[in-house]
């Protein structure tokens, strides 16, 4: 939500509610204490942990089920920083680097739950450079969404992170009223103030397209 608050009013930003809520659901499975309670309140109405997991697991399956000419894909992934040393003296498997900073590995039960319930890719990765991480994640997301999503927005502090949770959704659907390709024209599109590019516009001739508008939408 911080990203949305910082977005300029002159920029276009679209956020998938499905991606946000599935990301919260995958965190909820492994969270504890106040974090788990807050997420549970945000995504459910007094449901148990089992009910929450079952509901959102079923929801993700229903979304990707092809129906009525619409094909939807969801790319979920959990990347954890790869480290070398392992100590078995802690239930969380504390990992130590040469300068004795503590790191944590993904619990096997949590990783298995993500794979089973949300078809999530779970992978250890070296968080040494933002460019390397972004290339790996972008490649995965692009492959899962059949090239519809080629780039994920990354915060500048990603190199300092211990883990990265990715959730992206894309869909392809048929128009209720098809456009005629031969009527397409090239024109200028303004994605933000003082930034324009040439795009292809679809057009209709002698057709009425009824729509509703109010102070918030046109």
| CA distances (Å), origin 189, targets 8, 149, 185, 216, 218 | 18, 20, 12, 21, 17
* End-to-end CA, the chain: 24
Which pLDDT score, from 0 to 100, does residue 7 have?
67
Which pLDDT score, from 0 to 100, does residue 94 have?
33
Check if the beta carbon of residue 23 is closer than 8 Å to that of residue 74: no
Residue spans of alpha helices (H) in the chain: 2-6, 17-30, 33-43, 49-64, 108-118, 130-144
**What does the chain come to in residues?**
218
| CA distances (Å), origin 180, targets 69, 175, 184, 185, 209 | 19, 11, 7, 11, 15
Strand partners, 169: 74
Record the tokens describing residue 83, joined without a space.
């480290």
Which pLDDT score, from 0 to 100, does residue 85 have?
45
Which pLDDT score, from 0 to 100, does residue 9 have?
67
Which pLDDT score, from 0 to 100, does residue 122 have?
87
Domain edges within the chain:
12-173
Rounded Cα distance between 191 and 63, Å, is 29
pTM comes to 0.69
The distance of Cα 135 from the centroid of its chain, to the nearest Å, equals 16
| CA distances (Å), origin 168, targets 117, 148, 196 | 16, 10, 26
- Give the closest residue to 117 by CA, choosing from 37, 38, 35, 51: 51
**How high is the mean pLDDT in each 10-residue block of the chain (218 residues)?**
66 79 92 94 92 94 85 89 49 33 69 91 72 82 90 70 85 85 93 83 83 66
Domain covering 12-173 assigned CATH 3.90.1150.10 in the classification: no
For residue 151, the tally of other CB atoms under 10 A from its CB is 10
8-state DSSP, 212: -
Rounded Cα distance between 38 and 100, Å, is 32
Q: Are strands 121-125 and 70-81 parallel, antiparallel or unpaired?
A: parallel
């Amino acid at each position: 939500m911080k990203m949305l608050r910082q977005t300029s009013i002159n920029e276009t930003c679209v956020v998938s509610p499905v991606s946000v809520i599935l990301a919260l659901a995958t965190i909820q499975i492994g969270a504890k204490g106040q974090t788990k309670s807050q997420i549970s309140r945000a995504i459910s109405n007094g449901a148990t942990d089992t009910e929450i997991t079952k509901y959102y697991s079923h929801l993700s399956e229903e979304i990707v089920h092809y129906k009525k000419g619409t094909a939807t894909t969801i790319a979920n992934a959990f990347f954890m920083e790869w480290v070398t040393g392992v100590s078995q003296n802690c239930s969380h498997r504390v990992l130590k680097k040469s300068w004795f900073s503590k790191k944590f590995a993904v619990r096997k039960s949590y990783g298995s739950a993500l794979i089973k319930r949300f078809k999530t890719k779970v992978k250890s990765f070296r968080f040494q450079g933002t460019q390397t991480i972004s290339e790996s994640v972008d490649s995965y997301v692009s492959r899962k969404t059949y090239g519809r999503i080629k780039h994920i927005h990354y915060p500048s502090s990603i190199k300092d992170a211990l883990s990265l949770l990715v959730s992206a959704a894309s869909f392809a659907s048929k128009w209720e009223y098809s456009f005629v390709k031969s009527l397409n024209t090239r024109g200028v599109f303004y994605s933000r103030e003082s930034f324009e590019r040439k795009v292809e516009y679809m057009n209709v001739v002698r057709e009425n397209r009824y729509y509703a508008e109010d102070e918030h939408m046109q």
